[in-house]
Amino acid sequence: MRFIFKTDYGQDIKLAKHGGHVFWYGALMLLLVAAPWLFAEYWLAQLTFILIYSIAGLGLMLLAGFTGLFSLGHAAFLGVGAYTQAVMTNAGVPFPIALACAAGLSAAVGLVVGLPALRVKGIYLGMATLSFGFIVEEVFARWEKVTGGNAGIHIKAPDMFGWKLDSGESFYFLCLVLAVGSTLAILNLLRSPTGRAFVAIRDSEISAQSMGIHLARYKTLSFALSAALAGIAGALYAHKLQFISPEQFNILQSIDLLLMIVVGGVGSVHGAFLGAIFLISMPQAIALVKDYLPAAIGQAPGLQGVVYGMVLIAFVLFEPLGLYGRWLKIRTYLQTFPFYRKGMFKRQKSFQKSDRLK
């Protein structure tokens, strides 16, 4: 079984590099499809949240991991999609139309926010997106006629032209379809000239511009596509919780999204999913462990934030490629055993630092 597409130039593009990929990804899909019959309701809800955050992670990964533009206000796009979906769904608009509007409005906002990226980068771009996040959160809190203000707003179950997805199983399958579709869209985008332009900008803006890549066009496009995926995730997030309020889309949510892609592995599609698994499973792991810790530590109100900070620092210092990078090293070790050499990845890292033009 081969997954091959033809390009306009007659070249073959293989989504699965070999039969092993087809087998393991096929087995994973079978497991995900059978999840409602294998897991209890609680674990199915956690798996649904993983799929939702994976979609948001794919968007942020496209922006930060493949274009090199870091955002500290990405929760604002999540909120725009969530509130757009809530308002339109409560007005009786069918789910597909409301979802398209949520993604479109988030993309439009991302296009506007992407304009500062034409002039600033690095920490200054982070400050600009952080300020945007604060502004959007304040708009959500003050625009009470639309958003309900700090009191929040309830949202109805998704309505697919008369078919209501009001059960956990049906909504899970909806999230699964959208997550798979978003993943395939990102994979094909990265193989296209647009995706290669994004990667070229990430590696070196000077080199990309010298090759004829329009920096302004592709930077704003990256922001728009990333915001659109965040809007889709926000719409699903609103339906899953059935209630949203401004504090759900604050700076802490933006940091969680950034932590997700850093821990998962910046610059890899797999990293978005691994980071989502980490982000959803970590609070449960902390809740299980804190009962065995001394009361002064286990009952501390900021324990989760401290653990997240320690994990982030540890990954930045000892595993910059994230969980997916660690898996690649383990896989390489198994493939090359007993000829694996410890300095293999260290030399590769120093090569990139010395020969890549910034």
Q: What is the pLDDT of residues 285-333, one digit of tens each?
A: 888 887 777 777 777 777 777 888 888 888 888 888 888 888 888 887 7
Confidence of residue 68 (pLDDT cuts 50, 70, 90): confident
Q: Is the pLDDT of residue 347 over 60?
A: no
Confidence of residue 10 (pLDDT cuts 50, 70, 90): very low
Q: pTM of the entire structure?
A: 0.87
What pLDDT is recorded for position 340? 64
What pLDDT is recorded for position 212? 87
What pLDDT is recorded for position 85? 92
Cβ neighbours around 344 below 10 Å, total? 13
Q: Which range (60-74, 149-163, 301-315, 333-347) has the least confidence?
A: 333-347
Mean pLDDT score of the chain = 83
Mean pLDDT of 223-244: 92
Q: Is the pLDDT of residue 15 over 70?
A: no
Confidence of residue 353 (pLDDT cuts 50, 70, 90): very low
Confidence of residue 176 (pLDDT cuts 50, 70, 90): very high
pLDDT above 70 covers a percentage of the chain that reads 88
Mean pLDDT of 98-122: 87
Q: Is the pLDDT of residue 80 over 90?
A: yes
